[in-house]
Amino acid sequence: WLGRLKSGLGLSSSKLSENLAVLTKRPLDDDMLEEIEDALIASDLGPAMAARITAKLAAEKYDRQVTDMDIKLLVADEVEAVMTKVARPLDITAFPRPHTILVVGVNGSGKTTTIAKLAHLYQEQDYRVMLAAGDTFRAAAIEQLKVWGDRLNIDVIHKDVGGDAASLAYDALTQAWELGSDVLIIDTAGRLQNKQGLMDELAKIKRVLKRRMESAPHDVLLVLDATTGQNALTQIDVFKEVAGVTGLAMTKLDGTARGGVLVAAAERSGLPVHAIGVGEKLGDLRPFDPRAFAEALAG
Ligand code: GDP
């Protein structure tokens, strides 16, 4: 999987090295620092990280020759330092159960697939899992979750298209509780085009879950698609507001040159990164490994 992650991120790092290679032919001066900062920002790492790396570089190497390797090592160290603070798998061990995870994100981000991957992961650890098809707007989303449920032999609580998502969530939590499930994962609609509607719906889902079980939902997991680059940052802002996101998963890191955006996402939001998606198969959800990620990103 790391190979795939690298081949995804490698594109951005080669873009980064291309940019850096032309910059490192003379002793480090202000112009070069500015260009290096621009190159780092262009690689989706975000302005805060770019500024810090540039400042460190200036402190260590001003007026001296720098190689692109010097810069890459700094990038890798800085990315690892920042991401180590946010790398944290979901903790589903606490009682009471079921541990309830509300999964939010725009359509197409990989929500349904991530839910199936999480279900598979917990199933392999001998947890009893239940799913709820809470995206009641899209028939395809309900169908897709049912297909995953069949494959995994996991119950999927669902209603017809247009059904009330909050009452579905309430029923699912009730059933999960009665059946002694350990984990309940609830899909939701991702209709950002109707922000107020989405906010009302998610607030209602959270309210009824809490009514059924004070500590639920335990997690509100935002699924982000790495290939959308800077759009992911806007999505964090919106979903933090409408859903009270507690953590992130980033999908499609296997197929993008824009993996650096995860750094910007973590820095900007301060949210933990619970998992990353590196492929379409059930086994392609990984705990986030800051060192491997930093090395792959820096190239
Ligand atoms: P949803 O609309 O948010 O529920 O998104 P889906 O789960 O249906 O995923 C949308 C598409 O992205 C599907 O074709 C998935 O197979 C694909 N996908 C999801 N996660 C990943 C990933 O980590 N890597 C790759 N390459 N594809 C993914």
Residues of the chain below pLDDT 50 = 11
Q: Dihedrals φ, ψ of 132, to 5°?
A: -130, 125
User: Can you give the length of the chain in residues?
Assistant: 299
Task: Quickly tell me which residue has 């998606």 as its tokens.
Answer: 277
Contact 218, 176 (CB under 8 A): no
* Tokens coding 299: 């190239």
Q: What is the pLDDT of residue 157?
A: 98
pTM of the model: 0.93
Is 221 in a helix, a strand, or coil? strand
Per-residue pLDDT reduced to its tens digit, 9-45: 554 555 566 666 656 667 899 988 998 888 888 878 8
Closest ligand 1 atom to 116 CA: 7
- Among 220, 248, 221, CA closest to 232: 248
Task: Quickly tell me which residue has 């707007």 as its tokens.
Answer: 137
Regarding the beta carbon of 280 and ligand 1, being less than 6 Å apart is answered: yes
- The span from the CA of 91 to the CA of 143, in Å, is 28
- The span from the CA of 165 to the CA of 240, in Å, is 20
Binding-site residues from annotation for GTP = 105-112, 187-191, 251-254
Query: For the chain, what is the radius of gyration of the CA atoms?
Result: 21
Regarding the beta carbon of 182 and ligand 1, being less than 6 Å apart is answered: no
Closest ligand 1 atom to 108 CA: 2
User: What ipTM was assigned to the predicted interfaces of this complex?
Assistant: 0.99
- The span from the CA of 46 to the CA of 233, in Å, is 10
